[in-house]
Amino acid sequence: MDEFFADLDRLLHPDQVKRGKEQLIAYESDALTAFAQRPLAVIAPRSSEDLVEVVRLCARHGVPYVARGSGTSLSGGSLPVAEGVVIALNRLRRIVEIDAERRLAVVEPGVVNQWVSDAARDVGLYYAPDPSSQSVCTLGGNVAFNSGGAHCLKTGMTSNHVVGLKVVLPDGETTELGGGDSLEHVGPDLAGLFVGSEGLFGIAYEITLRLLPLPESTYTLLAAYDSLESAGDAVAQVVSSGLLPAAMEIMDRLAIEAAEAAVQAGYPDQAALLIVELDGEAALVDAESEMLAQVIERTKPVETRLAASPAERATIWKGRKGAFSAVGRLSPDYIVQDGVVPRLRLGEALSKIEQFSKEDGLRVANVFHAGDGNLHPLILYDGRNEGELERAEALAGRILRLCLELGGSITGEHGVGVEKLAYMSEMFAAEDLAVMDRLKAAVDPGGVANPGKMLPGEAPALSHQGIHPLEAAGVISRE
């Protein structure tokens, strides 16, 4: 290891390598604070050339690493590797190009998600995937975890917007993946394989993203129901009507109460709220919004509200977007899961979760992407009470198993990371995991690229850390 650091000192400026205990503490956890691991060092490349050289050094000396942007992973994806280093990508924060004609953005991995849309707005474009932490999370992390957001139903996840990648493989080789600047490609879709590989295939140092035209018009409707089931049925009605909403979100009573207490969105005091949003060409949205209003009318909501202005739309979304941090006010700690169930089984899933909550004596609030069956149960607990974290984790596990029983997935957008390692073998057969292991071993024979994530092995121990500082400050939330 001494040789590694000696080589590193020759390669980089001293301020690019942090090794002091106080400097490393901030990197011990990501947004999944239940896990912590102190890295040996935090290395901050200033350029992609630096990054490639650092990866080569790690490969040569067999030093494991994890790349990290803002550390907002909810699955522990950027948790440091034991006896390894963190490669911090925040200094690679250049938007290389916004190309209005080709509707593309070329960015470095440390660029924050929201910056892309901000930079593209002047030319009438935006970057569609909108994880709720988009004001801080970086595109390198979005690519590694195939991040989603509230608007995935219509526009897809990160993977659907990555056109090309320049990557450094675990052994330090560099290669370009994808169709270059074209949306189409010839040959196996290696860019598609790389996105969502949770850092196990190396690090993307330049990312080419597809941009979409800003919607000409947006129609946002809020409907309140006297039961969660009615809200779920309304989603089914909207789907079978042939409409393709940009987003469909549901909040339950506990989440509504929390949001009200936190941001006073003025929501109706009901058992469930449904938000449906249409966007696109104005004439099309006009026609579709009439259809939507009729469909919703037939679902007999207690109350409906329409956003007639951008300000009213912002008010409707304010409570929804703030719901997670708001729930944090109801309880010192919480765990959030992001399992997926088939839409038809949503009602069944929610009533089971309610039953589990009662049986295990822990409150669960539900805020979820109803349009794509992506649940976000928030399990409230107090980590200061002996054994409560473990009980909360056990309840989270019951919910993930439930998702699998109902024919879904253990994760819709947060990734496996370290958090769901134990459930991979329940979702995939041993032989299918073996294929993943073979692929991982072939791409990273040295086992240095973010080992211990995604593929089941020994999971690190839980530890009680409390809420993430950024979350306490209301900057990020866990959805």
Partner 1 sequence: MKIRDTKDLCELVRGDSAPIFVHAGGTKSVLDVRDASDVSGIELCDISVLTGIAEYEPSEYTMTAAAGTPIAELQSALREHGQYLPFDPLLVEAGATVGGTVASNAAGPGRLRHGGVRDFVLGIRFVDGLGHLGTQGAKVVKNAAGFDFSKLMVGSLGSLGCLTEVTFKVFPKPPNYRTVLVHQLDLRASEALLHSLLRTRTELLAVDLHSVEIGSSGRQWTLAIQIGGPDAGLDERAANLRSWARARTVSDHDVELLADTADAAFWNRTRELNWVDTRRVALKVPMTIPRFVELEKMSVFSEFDRVFSATQQLLVSLPLGETERVDEALMQLGLTGQLMRRGSARKSARVILGQRHGGMLLDRVRQALDPNSRFVQPC
**Min separation Cβ 234 and partner 1, Å:** 12
Looking at residue 208, the DSSP 8-state letter turns out to be E
Round to whole Å and give the CA distance between 142 and 207.
11
**Min separation Cβ 183 and partner 1, Å:** 5
Closest CB to partner 1 among residues 213, 469: 213
Q: Which two tokens stand for residue 421?
A: 């390692």
Closest CB to partner 1 among residues 135, 160: 160
Sign of CA dihedral 359, 364, 370, 376: negative
Closest CB to partner 1 among residues 41, 448: 448
**Min separation Cβ 284 and partner 1, Å:** 5
Going from the C-alpha of 343 to that of each of 206, 399, 406, 478, the distances in angstroms are 36, 16, 10, 22
Measuring CA to CA, which residue among 244, 359, 346, 361 is closest to residue 295? 244
Q: Which two tokens stand for residue 457?
A: 């092995």
**Min separation Cβ 415 and partner 1, Å:** 5
Measuring CA to CA, which residue among 103, 187, 105, 174 is closest to residue 142? 105
Closest CB to partner 1 among residues 18, 210: 210
Residues 6+ apart with CB under 8 A from 339: 374, 375, 399, 400, 402, 403, 404, 408, 409, 410, 411, 412
DSSP helix, strand, coil percent of the chain (3-state; round to 5): 40, 20, 40
**Min separation Cβ 317 and partner 1, Å:** 20
**Min separation Cβ 445 and partner 1, Å:** 9
Closest CB to partner 1 among residues 6, 183: 183
Query: What dihedral angle (degrees, nearest 10) is formed by the CA atoms of 328, 330, 331, 337?
Result: -50
Closest CB to partner 1 among residues 254, 274: 274
* CB 73, CB 415: distance < 8 Å: yes
**Min separation Cβ 14 and partner 1, Å:** 33
Residues 6+ apart with CB under 8 A from 102: 181
Closest CB to partner 1 among residues 282, 472: 282
